[in-house]
Structure 1
Amino acid sequence: MTDQQPAIRLSGLTKEFGAVTAVDHVDLEIAAGEFFSMLGPSGSGKTTVLRLIAGFEQPTGGTIELFGDDVTKRAPFDRDVNTVFQDYALFPHMSVLDNVAYGLRVRGIGKSERNERARKALAAVRLEQMADRKPSQLSGGQRQRIALARATVVEPKVLLLDEPLGALDLKLREQMQVELKEIQRDLGITFIFVTHDQEEALTLSDRVAVFNNGRIEQLGTPAELYERPVSRFVADFVGTSNLFDDDRSRAILGRGGQHSVRPEKMTVGAGAGEAGEGVINAAGTVVETIYLGSGIRIVVDLDAGLRVSVLEQNDRNRRHDEDRGDRVVVSWHDGDVVALGGADAAAPAPA
């Protein structure tokens, strides 16, 4: 195996459930040691792809390779992968140590060796002091880490994670995002993470595949997906975007096609707006001002017929508060406008 050999290669992967095509000819390579996320709404195909890689489902067409080895027709236990589910599925009557060692026990590893390896796995998730406790004595975040230790103790080549943070509250989920990335980096195992939470995917991943209707809509780094979405779907699903249809693009931007601008790229002011080369100003009326703590979201109905959302930082540089009904000018730089679809993005507005 070389460093260039992908951990996972999917070629023409297809899965049909009767008349429904859940996965539609997906081609994908995931690098060894990569933290890779599959992101999309319910029914987009991401979880089905994960189940196909795990062997829980058989594809209608295409192939699945694990480090160059075709595993398409192999049973789940005959693939060097492991899966962490949302419910963790810990055995309540077993100690934490025995839960972690269970996979080694099934594989016939002797008690002394499996306990030693289980303790090392617990140390990797920083819970070695919990070895003698029962799962009921642990917090949600601790149970999540125990499930990770149990999945990694058997040293799989690839770890599959099916929305493992979905059952946690917001504060704990944010904490576990950081810890999960640190654990992955320490272990060096390829992680394939399924989520419908775009912020989670952006926070954790080296790369993200955005799924829509069984296909990959866009594949790239978190920064690429956020800063340069290729379609209206990605712009709208990954974060928040102000979307300009063809008519609004022509009226406001001076060119045809569909475009997007992120709320934090815009500013709200009074008077004539900002001056400078490449700056676009559009007058409108404040509809709502929403306090978010770290930021302020200002919703404005532009005179050109588009409602936009502006996100300003709640810092000492904020000039004033806007009230409903205030007349304002929304400004942004032309360089922050992203063309979507590309078919007629550069078409000039009619004279």
Structure 2
Amino acid sequence: MTDAQPAIRLTGLTKEFGSVTAVDHVDLEIAAGEFFSMLGPSGSGKTTVLRLIAGFEQPSGGTIELFGHDVTKRAPFDRDVNTVFQDYALFPHMNVLDNVAYGLRVRGIGRKERNERAMRALAAVRLEQMAARKPSQLSGGQRQRVALARATVVEPKVLLLDEPLGALDLKLREQMQVELKEIQRELGITFIFVTHDQEEALTLSDRIAVFNDGRIEQLGTPAELYERPGSRFVADFVGTSNLLDDERSLALLGRAGEHSVRPEKMIVGTAEQSGDGVRNAWGTVVEAIYLGSGIRLVVDLDAGTRVTVLEQNDRHRAHDDERGDRVVVSWHDADVVALATVTDAAA
């Protein structure tokens, strides 16, 4: 973080629904111009935090600041933010241009100016040629970009995105992830993105807050969260990890505590690897899953635990492993991550 005024500052933010605490004393700063993601499973509190920032919900405690101004009690229309929802909420009877210009019309902007600004917003998402079409004449990806244009045409300081890619198929979603990041960079607006898709968060974000039970479990860059997860929850939720409990850590690593190793950090062979810090463990292949770009191997180690190994599908593979094969799984100590225990986390 820099010394510049953060776009969003949450202090002790809390939201209770009856006896349920959905958001539990969250402290967070989001920088101006940052693509920030809130990642977590259903019920973790991420969407509630987004709704609190938008003003759609009122907090039970704590404060929300927008560029240094306390907006905790302000109505949604009195906050310089805008929201893009998963269903896009486009008006079916209006053409694309009128949909995008609607927010300007509500603000009393004249027709000539609002149409000019709406066309510039459509150009930013590369859809100016679709201005005369109705939403029903657009693809899912095009409707998503129209929703983005409509949200950004009023020039909000912060754009909130509530799982906006969730309704798209996989191929289109991957394409839109790239386009969304490009649009954010071009506009320079702070994006706050809510998702339960960890790959999507890793692809898009400058930083990510991983939510669990209404709190931020870990905050960091995509690389920090993936390479150095701070807890068992983060290691298991962000990507795939081989988790070793205290007993297995003693047997395989020679030290106590919980640890994790990512599947792509392990290799499978028929002979033990040598070198400083290299660990080897024999086992039996339980499953070999062809993924196209890679091969996922599930191996039951003789030490009494099951691990997953991800190998690249390249010409250097000596042979295809099959169920029942005896193999040795090797990894390097540098790729082993010690996970915080409950006691550590509470300290």
TM-score by length of 2: 0.98
* Alignment-mate amino acid for residue 262 of structure 2: R
- Partner of 1:53: helix, strand, or coil? helix
Report sequence identity in percent: 87
What residue in structure 2 maps to residue 309 of structure 1? 308
Structure 2: how far apart are the matches of 1:178 and 1:141? 12
Residue equivalent to 1:270? 270
Aligned to 1:251: 251
CA separation in 1, counterparts of 2:188 and 2:341?
38
The alignment yields a C-alpha RMSD, in angstroms, of 1.2
Instruction: Return the offset for 1:171.
Output: 0.1
| Aligned residue type for 1:301 | D
Paired residues for 1:49-60 under 5 Å: 49-60=49-60
Distance apart, 1:3 and its partner CA = 7.0
- Give the structure 2 partner of residue 331 of structure 1: 330
Deviations 1:179-221 (A, max 9, x none): 0000000000000000000000000000000000000000000
1:24 and 1:14 map into 2 onto residues whose CA distance is: 5
- Give the unaligned 5+ runs of structure 2: none
Structure 1: which 5+ residue stretches go unaligned?
346-351
SS in 2 for 1:202: helix
- Structure 1 residue 24 displacement after superposition: 0.2
Counterpart of 1:202 in structure 2 is 202
The CA distance in 1 between the partners of 2:337 and 2:119, in whole Å, is: 50
Shift of 1:318: 1.3
Bigger CA drift: 2-11 or 121-130?
Answer: 2-11
Change in Cα spacing, 1:209 to 1:44, as seen in structure 2 (3 Å) is same
> Structure 1 CA distance, aligned partners of 2:287 and 2:84?
42
Aligned match of 2:117: 117
Q: Which residue of 1 aligns with 2:224?
A: 224
Q: Who is 1:296 aligned against? A: 295
Taking the TM superposition and a 5 Å limit, the aligned residue runs for 1:97-136 are: 97-136=97-136
Distance 1:113 1:135, change over 3 A: same
Q: Distance in 2 between matches of 1:96 and 1:72?
A: 33
Which aligned pairs between 1:132-143 and structure 2 lie closer than 5 A?
Answer: 132-143=132-143
TM-score of the superposed pair, with normalisation by structure 1: 0.96
Task: Find the aligned partners of 1:153 and 1:56 in 2 and give their Cα distance.
Answer: 21
Q: How big is the shift at 1:110?
A: 0.2
TM superposition shift of 1:342: 5.8
Q: C-alpha offsets along residues 255-299 of structure 1, whole Å, 9 cap, x if unaligned? A: 00000000000000003x111110000000000000000000000
In 2, the alpha carbon distance for the partners of 1:344 and 1:184 equals: 40
Judge conservation of contact 1:257–1:343 (CA < 8 Å) in 2.
Answer: no
- CA distance in 1: counterparts of 2:73 and 2:16, whole angstroms: 16
- Cα distance in 1 for partners of 2:343, 2:120 equals 57
User: Match for 1:87: what amino acid?
Assistant: D
Inter-partner Cα distance in structure 2 for 1:187 and 1:342: 42
1:61-112 CA-to-partner distances (Å, cap 9, x unmatched) read 0000000000000000000000000000000110000000000000000000
Tell whether 2:34 aligns with 1:34. Answer: yes
- Matches of 1:10 and 1:148 in 2, distance apart? 25
Residues 135-181 of structure 1 deviation map (CA, whole Å, 9 limit, x = unaligned)? 00000000000000000000000000000000000000000000000
